[in-house]
Copies of this chain bind each other. A is one copy, B any other.
C-alpha cells in the first residue's frame, strides 16, 4: 500500500490555482526534474497587506498609528494642530491617502514612528497588539492572517524555500510579530524604513528612529529593496496589488530560473472584502491583473479558491 502524503494546502479548493502551486513547487524541488533548483535558490517573496492579512478598512499599521495618536493627544495636545493628525483622528482616510505615495499617511506614520528608540517603538506595537481589535471582525489584528496563505508559507518552508516578506509596511512594525505569527525571522522582512541613529547611552546602545532617507517599499521600490536586501532574484512572488506589479515582473520575466507569480484577488465581500480597481484603502489592482494572463501569473479567486479565510489553529 502506498501512503498518500497529507494535503499540504487543505484550505485551498481543488482547482487549477492550487494545482498550479503544487505543480510548481514539485517541479523545482524534485531532484529528477530538469527544473530542479538547489535550496539556496528557492527564494519566495510575499507582500503582506492584502496578501497575508487584510488591508481593510485600512492597513493595520495605519490603525496602529491612529490609535497611537488618540492615545498621545491626551498628553500632547499640540499634535492636534497638524492637519494630517486632524484628518487621521476624524477618520478621513481619503485625505491621508492622497498623493502618489500616500503623503498624509506617511506624515502620520512619521509622527508615530520616529523620535523614539527602536525598543520603545517595539514595546508600543506589542502593547497595541494586546488590546486593539479589528472593527469588523472583532479579533486582534494578528489573528487575522489568511489561513490558506499560512499553509502556502509552511508548504514552501517544508520544501526548502526561504520566505521573505516584502511589504510597504514598516520593517520595524512587522518584525515585532512576524516570527510569532508567520514563522518568518526578522532578517527575512523587507519593509519601508528610514535610517536610525546609533547612540551609546548610559544604559547601553540605542537606535533612535528618524525620518531620514525614508524608503517607501512599494511599486518599483520592491525589486530595488529585494536586490538590496536579498541580493538575488526570487523564483516565487505573491502579491495582491499594483504595488506588487514591479516585483512580479522582476521575479518572472526572463528569469533564467523557473518562476511563479501569484496574485491574491479579493473577491469575497462576505467573508472578507471584494475590491480591485476601486478601493477605499490601499490595494488597487488593475495593471498587474491585466498583465497576469500574458505572464502566466496565477490569480487566486479568494471566494472560489479558499474554503477557509482566517487562521484557525
* Residues of A participating in the B interface, judged by any CB pair closer than 8 Å: 40, 43, 118, 162, 164, 171-172, 175, 179, 185-189, 193, 195-198, 200, 203-205, 207, 213, 215, 220-221, 223-224, 227-232, 246, 249-250, 253-255
Least CB separation from A174: chain B residue: B231
Query: A228 CA to B170 CA in the complex, in Å?
Result: 11
| Residue contact B189 to A227, C-beta cutoff 8 Å | no
Q: Enumerate 14 A-B pairs (CB-CB under 8 Å) in ascending A order.
A: A172-B231, A186-B231, A187-B188, A187-B230, A187-B231, A193-B228, A196-B228, A198-B220, A198-B221, A198-B224, A200-B249, A205-B253, A205-B254, A213-B215
Q: Please give, as numbers and ranges, the residues of chain B lying within 8 Å of A175 by CB-CB distance.
A: 231-232
| Residue contact B195 to A223, C-beta cutoff 8 Å | no
Q: Please give, as numbers and ranges, the residues of chain B lying within 8 Å of A254 by CB-CB distance.
A: 203-205
Q: Please give, as numbers and ranges, the residues of chain B lying within 8 Å of A224 by CB-CB distance.
A: 195-198, 207
| Residue contact B223 to A187, C-beta cutoff 8 Å | no
- Take A224-B197, A229-B187, A231-B186 as given contacts and tell me if A40 and B179 are in contact as well, using a CB distance cutoff of 8 Å: yes
| Residue contact A253 to B204, C-beta cutoff 8 Å | yes
Q: Which of B189, B197, B200, B205 contacts A231 (CB 8 A)?
A: B189
